[in-house]
């Protein structure tokens, strides 16, 4: 199957490694959690998550949370840059507080998934 045909969140094998599709051209390595660019035309092998061990779906979800955390970091930096350009210190502090709360929630959820 071509990588472009996989739905985001789908687990697949590619070049001897197991990944979770995290974007149109990106996947998370389930073993390391590292993001990797995959060409749309790449041939991949979808994995039936029902046949995986009970811990594998949790690892896939943890990898997806890692990707969400990365996206949140990028968004936060963009928002802070925008606030800086407007010279709005109050908005900047509110953005930082909201960001910290989101990061804490994602980290707690990730720990719960990985521990059990």
pTM of the predicted model as reported, rounded to 2 decimal places? 0.47
pLDDT in tens, 17-67: 989 898 899 998 888 888 899 999 999 999 886 655 555 666 667 777 777
pLDDT by residue (tens digit) across 73-108? 878 888 878 777 776 666 777 778 888 888 887 777
Contacts 24+ apart (CB under 8 A), 75-81: none
The domain spans of the chain are: 3-115
41-58 b/e (C-beta count within 10 Å ≥ 16 → b): ebebeebeeeebeeeeeb
């Amino acid at each position: 199957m071509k990588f472009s045909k996989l739905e985001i969140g789908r687990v697949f094998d590619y070049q001897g490694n197991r990944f979770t599709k995290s974007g149109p051209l990106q996947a998370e390595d389930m073993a390391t959690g590292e993001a990797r660019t995959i060409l749309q035309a790449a041939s991949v092998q979808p994995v039936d998550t029902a046949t995986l061990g009970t811990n594998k779906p949790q690892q896939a979800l943890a990898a997806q949370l890692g990707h969400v955390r990365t996206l949140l970091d990028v968004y936060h930096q963009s928002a802070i840059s925008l606030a800086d350009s407007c010279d709005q210190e109050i908005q900047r502090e509110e953005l930082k507080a909201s960001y910290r709360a989101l990061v804490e929630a994602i980290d707690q959820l990730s720990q719960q998934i990985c521990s059990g």
